[in-house]
Amino acid sequence: MWSESYFWLIWLGVAIFMEFWAMFLHGLLWHGPWWVTHKSHHEPRQGYLEFNDIFSVFHALLAMTLIIYGCEAQPCFFSYACVASGFGMTSFGLAYFVVHDGFIHERLPVKFLARFAYMRRLRNAHKVHHFRDHEHPFGLFLGEYELRWHRNRRK
């Protein structure tokens, strides 16, 4: 499994795809019909957790299911692809947690990330989203590019 190049390509591809998936869900559902759950993220937090964290739990369970199934199933391309997909989702989720929850919303001690200009730009783009509530950018890692693209479209 680990020596197959397609395993690593699927892992990386799913991790990248998750940014677009999150952008899609965030714009279409979280700021739409699921606002009742997501609005907790746009309000001052009471304690460490917020109701919005349920979205992360759902995706974590899906990733764990893929990994466990892939490890328990008969070794083949499909089972390896399930494991790689689960790891790709988990990689994105971990990066999202550290950058979004940890750095941007200061739920983890990772202020050192402010040394990197890209991270400061991500934080600024995300603050634009929070200031406007129902507007772009809905992505995180591509948030500054999404914001720029939508600004240029309006011109």
Report if residue 55 sits inside a domain.
yes
Report if residue 18 sits inside a domain.
yes
Determine the pLDDT at residue 133: 59
Half-sphere exposure of residue 11, counting CA atoms within 13 Å on the CB side?
A: 15
**Closest to 25 (Cα-Cα) out of 119, 104, 139:** 139
Here the tokens at position 80 are 């390896």
Q: Which residues of the chain are modeled with pLDDT < 50?
A: none
Report if residue 144 sits inside a domain.
no
**How many domains does one find in the chain?**
1
To the question of pTM greater than 0.85 for the whole model, the response is: yes
Cβ atoms of residues 55 and 64 within 8 Å: no
Determine the pLDDT at residue 10: 96
CB count in 10 Å sphere of residue 82: 21
Report if residue 20 sits inside a domain.
yes
Determine the pLDDT at residue 55: 86
Report if residue 120 sits inside a domain.
no
Q: Which domain holds residue 25?
A: 5-39+50-113
Report if residue 84 sits inside a domain.
yes
Report if residue 73 sits inside a domain.
yes
Determine the pLDDT at residue 38: 83
Determine the pLDDT at residue 155: 63
Determine the pLDDT at residue 1: 63
Determine the pLDDT at residue 45: 76
